[in-house]
Amino acid sequence: MHLAISLDIAAATGEAVLDFSRISKFVRQAEAAGVDMVAISDTADGLSSSPFEATTLLAALATVTNRIGLVATASTIAHQPYNLARRFASLDIISHGRAGWNAMMAQSPREAANFSRPEGFSDTDFRRRSEEYIGIVQGLWQGWDADALLFDKSGGRFHAPEKMHLLDHKGEFFSVRGPLNVARSPQDTPVLVLSGLSEADFDIAVRTADVILLESGSVESAKARFDDLKRRATAAGRDPDAVKVLTNISLTAEDKPAATADRLETQFRARSCDGFNIELPAQRSAIDDFADRILPELGQRGLVRESYRGTTLRSHLGLAGGGDQ
Amino acid sequence: MTARMKLGAFLWATGHHIAAWRHPKAHVNAGIDIDHYIQLARTAEAAKFDMIFCEDAAGLREANVGIASQTSRSIGFEPISLLSALAVQTSHIGLVSTASTSYNEPYGLARTFLSLDHLSGGRAGWNLVTSASPIEAANFGSTGLKPHADRYERAREFAEVVTRLWQGKAPGHDGQSFSVHDPLDLPRSPQGAPVMVQAGASDVGRDLAARTADVVFTAAQTFEEAKAFYDDLKGRMAAYGREPDDIKIMPGVSPVVAETEAEAREKHEELQALIPDDVGVALLSSYLSISDLGRYPIDGPLPELPESEGMKSRQALVVEQSRRDGLSIRQLARHFAGARGHWRIVGTAAQVADELQARFEGGAADGFNVMPSYLPGELDAFATLVVPELQRRGLFRRDYEGRTLRDHLGLKRPA
Ligand SMILES: Cc1cc2nc3c(=O)[nH]c(=O)nc-3n(C[C@H](O)[C@H](O)[C@H](O)COP(=O)(O)O)c2cc1C
């Protein structure tokens, strides 16, 4: 089963604020336990006292870890698609193919107010804009063929001209010429994670996402949704296994390790998901508890891998793409 | 104690010379190798540089694919992610990244730089640019490059909002280009606020710098040009209630240095020999904001040019140099290919130190942004040859004065 851990760095206030050394220690513990990826989210709507923004934190974490996937939330309101595509392509190179972008499908009113969009977008506009945005970002990520760079010093050919492609996108919300001025990602494209989905976003998600994060519900409803998403992926012409569906699980510090493991195991065996995204409050006690007690329990039951087979996030998730598989 | 000069290490992948990547010792895959940058940052930190400086463009540098493919400049790291990685791999050196006011929003940019500042313990700086290239503009809409004056007006509003946000205030701003309501959701900077750097030297550019910048990065060929710029900018500061010393002016300098002068010249010639003519002319054209320089005879003079809507100051610098030295397009292009109009010095450590000292003590610079011709070789050479010479002369620090970039630069903590 795939296992992601989400750390909401913005949710912490006061004493609970995590500094870089504490966050990196936790991410290394998760790496030692074979967790697929850690997702950093910082999009809390209220005030927080976390000192970090997710993409910058991810870059720093990339240099102190080796294997674990690193996913950062970045909103489609806060960045222009060209800039965001560049940021994540760069993060992927810095992490040697371990980066992912978590795009929120729900818009945050606070963001709209601070990003010169006081009225925000209507839901349908936001949905169309998001799909266009994601298409641009993924298109930019594919602007350079895998063998475009020649590094031919004596011949004076740095890259093969025909292996660099313009995007030339002209759409309803954006116009972007491209190509990206960052090289192709080590895993071809960074992993796209979608979260905050409503029913109406599902078709966009199965067309574009590598990973879908879903809110938890009963095992039955989760199973029905899981099957529905896989069916939709097939209908969209994709291998259903190319879209990993993870169920969000919120853990509180008091959870008994055995009870938590039971819960995950039951849901997983019912084939209601490809794995889980454990949402941890950014508090020392919660993350210590998770690292020291729950992860070992999951390991003992064989629910998480003992070690990584490959080096890229795509390989951890069993997704096709560059890098090793 | 007399003032010491400030030094930036301006890192650009394989180096600043347009043909640097072809040099046998240049690290050719620099644009995809984070370890290369970690190494460069550590070299610069060991040499006690004030900061690392990264340029940026939100697009290719060169429109013509045939030309672009003969340079290494079409790919590189996005600098904010690059510097965030370097922040936790270094302990003292300042980390300055360029970012455009034309293609960002103030809330997001202020937040990202503040995060870099926290990651580095107060060592971040933002180099404000207005982005002069139509290639970039095409990645952000279909309407093309906005006029110079409009870009600067947006930049002024942008800088004002960012300053308020970094002061921990709610901007409650509803302006011409932006509306921003809340304060930032990150704590105050360990150095009060990240350092504001500015590159751009036109009249409006200087005014904006006099109002908001802590450091100004500029290009100047001769002592007279550098001195005139220095006096003019410092002279504008009183109008904004600031002291001349509140801004550090750091012109770019690209040294080619070796144990002997002959060796340095040889090294320089080796690089010059690697420039294809069409690449040199294309680079020059892009900075002159003219697309068709290639249709003029390469051994003839620079034609009369319409005033640029791109980089006004750089166009003026090139035109002035071509007239002053009577240079043909080819000569000008070859000269420009070394450091894009920045000052070049080829010689021994003592010769380089003499020249830097003359501009520093002559009141034409508070320090320099050092632009290694190729990397890592020329940064190593500067660190091992020139820095000790400057230290011996008492012109440069032997150790860091503090931990933050403001400490190194001797800048006040903002209120
Ligand atoms: C020394 C120097 C360095 C610059 N570096 C950059 C850069 O990295 N990226 C960029 O987009 N513009 C850069 N610029 C351009 C400025 O942002 C500005 O857009 C341009 O110079 C036009 O302004 P000006 O006419 O005031 O010089 C630089 C300018 C100077 C003088």
Region B287-295: mean pLDDT is 84
Q: What is the pLDDT of residues B330-380, one digit of tens each?
A: 999 999 999 998 999 999 999 999 999 999 999 999 999 999 999 999 999
Indicate whether residue B252 lines ligand 1 (CB < 6 A).
yes
Q: How many residues does chain A have?
A: 325
Tokens read off for A266 = 């039951």
Residue B393, pLDDT score = 98
Asked if residue B190 and residue B204 are part of one domain, the reply reads yes
Tokens read off for A174 = 């954006």
Residue A272 has pLDDT above 60, yes or no: yes
Interface with chain A: mutation pick from B54, B75, B188, highest number of A CBs within 10 Å: B75
Residues A101, A190 contacting (CB under 8 angstroms): yes
* Rounded distance between C-alpha atoms, residue B81 and residue A53, angstroms: 11
All residues at 6 or more sequence positions from B324 whose CB lies less than 8 Å from its CB, including other chains: none
Dmax (CA) of chain B: 61
B144 close to A (CB below 8 A): no
Tokens read off for A134 = 């994601």
Asked if residue B99 and residue B208 are part of one domain, the reply reads yes
* Rounded distance between C-alpha atoms, residue A182 and residue A89, angstroms: 6
Ligand 1 center to residue B61 CA distance, Å? 13
Residue B2, pLDDT score = 64
A168: left (phi over 0), alpha (psi -120 to 50) or beta: left
Asked if residue B195 and residue B63 are part of one domain, the reply reads yes
Residue A50, pLDDT score = 83
| CB atoms B139 and A64 under 8 Å | no
CATH code of residue A197: 3.20.20.30
Dihedral over Cα of B319, B324, B326, B331: its sign: negative
Asked if residue B131 and residue B106 are part of one domain, the reply reads yes
* Rounded distance between C-alpha atoms, residue A131 and residue A148, angstroms: 28
Collapsing DSSP to helix, strand or coil, A126 comes out as: helix
The DSSP 8-state label assigned to residue A163 in this structure reads: G
* Rounded distance between C-alpha atoms, residue B5 and residue B409, angstroms: 9
Residues A226, A272 contacting (CB under 8 angstroms): yes
Residue A27 has pLDDT above 80, yes or no: yes
C-alpha triplet B341, B409, B170: angle, nearest 5°: 100
3-state SS, one letter per residue, for B87-141: HCCCCCCEEEEEEECCCCCHHHHHHHHHHHHHHCCCCEEEEEECCCCHHHHCCCC
CA-nearest of A17, A29, A22 to A65 is: A29
Burial of A220 (0-12, 13-18, 19+ CB in 10 A): exposed
Ligand 1 center to residue B245 CA distance, Å? 23
Ligand 1 center to residue B244 CA distance, Å? 22
The tally of domains found in chain A comes to 1
Give A62→chain B minimum CA distance, Å: 7
Collapsing DSSP to helix, strand or coil, B406 comes out as: helix
Structural domain contains residue A240: yes
The tally of domains found in chain B comes to 2
| CB atoms B118 and A52 under 8 Å | yes
Region A151-162: mean pLDDT is 97
Structural domain contains residue B414: no
Q: At what angle do helices B79-87 and B34-46 cross, to 10 degrees?
A: 60
Domain end (from B294, B314, B338): B338
Residue B390 has pLDDT above 50, yes or no: yes
Residue A109, pLDDT score = 84
Indicate whether residue B407 lines ligand 1 (CB < 6 A).
no
Dihedral over Cα of A281, A286, A287, A291: its sign: negative
Structural domain contains residue A89: yes
Ligand 1 center to residue B55 CA distance, Å? 9
Asked if residue B13 and residue B157 are part of one domain, the reply reads yes
Ligand 1 pocket: which of B16, B52, B236, B311 to mutate (most atoms <8 Å of CB)? B311
Buried b (16+ CB within 10 A) or exposed e, B166-204: bbeeebebebebbbbbebbbbebbbbbbbbbbbbbbbeb
Residue B155, pLDDT score = 97
Region B25-29: mean pLDDT is 94
Tell me the DSSP string of B253-307: EEEEE-SSHHHHHHHHHHHHTT--HHHHHHHHHHHHT-S-GGGS-TTSBPPP-PP
Rounded to the nearest integer, the mean pLDDT of chain B is 95
Q: What percent of chain A has pLDDT over 90?
A: 74
Q: At what angle do helices A257-269 and A219-235 cross, to 10 degrees?
A: 40
Partners of B128 in the beta sheet? Answer: B99, B198
Indicate whether residue B76 lines ligand 1 (CB < 6 A).
no
Residues of chain A with Cβ-Cβ distance to B157 below 8 Å are none
Residue of chain B with shortest Cα separation from A62: B85
Structural domain contains residue B281: yes
Residue A325 has pLDDT above 70, yes or no: no
Tokens read off for B14 = 């394989």
CATH code of residue B151: 3.20.20.30
Region B285-314: mean pLDDT is 86
Residues of chain A with Cβ-Cβ distance to B22 below 8 Å are 153-154, 156
Domain holding A266, by residue range, is 2-118+190-317
Residues B250, B214 contacting (CB under 8 angstroms): no
Residues B215, B250 contacting (CB under 8 angstroms): yes
Domain holding B116, by residue range, is 6-259+341-409
Residue A31 has pLDDT above 70, yes or no: yes
Residues B327, B271 contacting (CB under 8 angstroms): no
Asked if residue B287 and residue B148 are part of one domain, the reply reads no
Residue B1 has pLDDT above 90, yes or no: no
Domain end (from B284, B309, B338): B338
Asked if residue B384 and residue B371 are part of one domain, the reply reads yes
Nearest CA to ligand 1 atom 31: B200
Nearest CA to ligand 1 atom 1: B218
Ligand 1 center to residue B199 CA distance, Å? 5
pLDDT range class, residue A324, cuts 50, 70, 90: very low
Residue B118 has pLDDT above 80, yes or no: yes
* Rounded distance between C-alpha atoms, residue B317 and residue B342, angstroms: 10
Q: Which A residues, 43 through 82, put their C-beta within 8 Å of a C-beta on chain B?
A: 44, 46-53, 55-60, 62-64, 78-80, 82
Structural domain contains residue B74: yes
**Of the given ranges (A146-150, A231-235, B138-142, B184-188), which has the lowest mean pLDDT?**
B184-188
Give me the residue from B69, B142, B274 closest to A161, CB to CB.
Answer: B69
Region B72-81: mean pLDDT is 97
**Of the given ranges (A42-56, A304-318, B269-283), which has the lowest mean pLDDT?**
A42-56
How many other C-beta atoms can be found within 10 angstroms of the C-beta atom of residue B415? 6
pLDDT range class, residue A286, cuts 50, 70, 90: confident
Region B308-314: mean pLDDT is 81
pLDDT range class, residue B201, cuts 50, 70, 90: confident
Q: Beta strand B248-257 with B367-370: parallel, antiparallel or unpaired?
A: parallel
Residue A321 has pLDDT above 90, yes or no: no
Place of tokens 């504490």: A22
Region A262-274: mean pLDDT is 93
Q: What is the pLDDT of residues B85-94, one digit of tens each?
A: 999 999 999 9
Indicate whether residue B98 lines ligand 1 (CB < 6 A).
yes
Residues of chain A with Cβ-Cβ distance to B12 below 8 Å are none
Residues of chain A with Cβ-Cβ distance to B78 below 8 Å are 83, 86-87, 89-90, 182
Rounded to the nearest integer, the mean pLDDT of chain A is 92
Ligand 1 center to residue B53 CA distance, Å? 13
Asked if residue B216 and residue B181 are part of one domain, the reply reads yes
Q: Is A198 annotated as a binding residue?
A: yes
Indicate whether residue B55 lines ligand 1 (CB < 6 A).
yes
Residue B368, pLDDT score = 98
Asked if residue B290 and residue B175 are part of one domain, the reply reads no
pLDDT range class, residue A15, cuts 50, 70, 90: low
Q: Which A residues, 168 through 207, put their C-beta within 8 Å of a C-beta on chain B?
A: 170, 174-179, 181-183
B81 close to A (CB below 8 A): yes
Structural domain contains residue B93: yes
Asked if residue B303 and residue B169 are part of one domain, the reply reads no
Asked if residue B248 and residue B161 are part of one domain, the reply reads yes
In chain A, helix, strand, coil percent, each to 5?
A: 40, 20, 40
Dihedral over Cα of A142, A143, A145, A148: its sign: negative
Residue B102 has pLDDT above 60, yes or no: yes
**Of the given ranges (A70-84, A236-250, B288-302), which has the lowest mean pLDDT?**
B288-302
Tell me the DSSP string of B22-86: GSTTS-TTGGG-HHHHHHHHHHHHHTT-SEEEE---SS-S-S-HHHHTTSSTT----HHHHHHHH
Residue A281, pLDDT score = 76
For the annotated binding site of B for FMN, the residues are: 56, 98, 148, 152, 202
Domain end (from B338, B355, B387): B338
Asked if residue B273 and residue B230 are part of one domain, the reply reads no
Residues A64, A25 contacting (CB under 8 angstroms): no
